[in-house]
Amino acid sequence: MVRILVTGGAGYIGSQMTDLLVRRGYKVSVLDNLSTGFRDAVLDAELIVGDFGDQNLLSDIFEKYKFDAVMHFAASIEVEESVREPTKYYQNNVANSLTLLDAMVAHKVNNLIFSSSAAVYGEPEYVPLKESNSKKPINPYGRSKMVIEEVLSDYDKAYGLKSVSLRYFNAAGADPNARLGPRHEPASHLIPLVLQTASGRRNAINIFGTDYPTSDGTCIRDYIHVVDLCTAHLLALERLFNDGKTDVYNLGNGNGFSVLDVIETAKKVTGRFIKIVKCVRRLGDPAVLVANASKAQQTLEWKPQFSRLETIVEHAWQWEQQTKSHQKT
């Protein structure tokens, strides 16, 4: 049986990935320090509580299990926080990742799926973004992801460690059956914040910047359903096992929606009033990020199921209603 180590597997995306791997017949061990993840989000896999930057723990884990691959989701991800606290991002996303990679090399685990980000592009030269676009990140979060992508290229040449870096655009939505979903506290991503406002858990939604060079002055982003995101990861893993080629792919829907578009869609889905508050721009936010994901669609034969913004918001709304209900009880 193929055995996978999932770092950050108790978090939003990692838990969905773990669930998919288990359902597809993989043996999965999750490594998560539970700083932002949740024990009960690991449904049917072994949970090892610890830090992926702990060299001794990694050595013990890799000695105990013979992993066929690692899927690495354990990163700090808040752009604004990365501008305020770059040390945290370079320590966790870069230094700790190097510790993980060195443990893989030492124990001859030669396959890695890396959770990268569209933040590596910075302000795009053109949209939709292709993998060949220049990488000019404008915040420490994006730079931390870019550094590891470059490291992975070097580790392939030097040590034969093969990897696929997947550049996410905006992961959103929840499990269609509402078993798993976003649980960041406090929430920081747009769709959960908007829906918390609709459900009454939040008084208003802040719009950071209404003077961007876009049709309505608000930022435009490409939203990808978390289930589609995980499906792409599985396809990338299987391709890595088959052809052993280091590569990089964009993961997005190719459609851009502004902050106001998302709010209007949420109003339609929920039937609720959503109060907005206009604020100044945040540091490190590009105006437009939209993916050209044709490479993943063609090479990995990836076909997103939930590409409509309404569907993404509907699944997130089911999760939000359930979350609010559980808080009451």
As a dihedral over the C-alpha atoms of residue 77, residue 81, residue 84, residue 85, rounded to 10 degrees, the angle is -50
The encoded tokens of residue 7 equal 């770092």
Residues 6 or more apart whose Cβ sits within 8 Å of residue 87: none
Question: Has 141 been annotated as catalytic?
Answer: yes
- Candidates 141, 155, 212, 249; catalytic one: 141
Question: Taking a C-beta distance cutoff of 8 angstroms, is the pair 316, 192 a contact?
Answer: yes
Three-state DSSP at 61 gives helix
Instruction: Give me the residues paired with residue 277 across strands.
Output: 206
- For the four alpha carbons of 136, 97, 4 and 110, in that order, the dihedral sign comes to positive
Residue 193 half-sphere exposure toward CB, CA atoms < 13 A: 16
How far is CA 33 from each of CA 36, 112, 164, 262, rounded to the nearest angstrom? Answer: 8, 20, 24, 32
Residues 6 or more apart whose Cβ sits within 8 Å of residue 107: 59, 62, 63, 67
- Write down the residue that tokens 């994006």 correspond to: 142
How far is CA 63 from each of CA 57, 67, 108, rounded to the nearest angstrom? Answer: 10, 9, 11
What is the rounded distance in angstroms from the CA atom of residue 44 to the CA atom of residue 312?
A: 25
The set of catalytic residues is 141
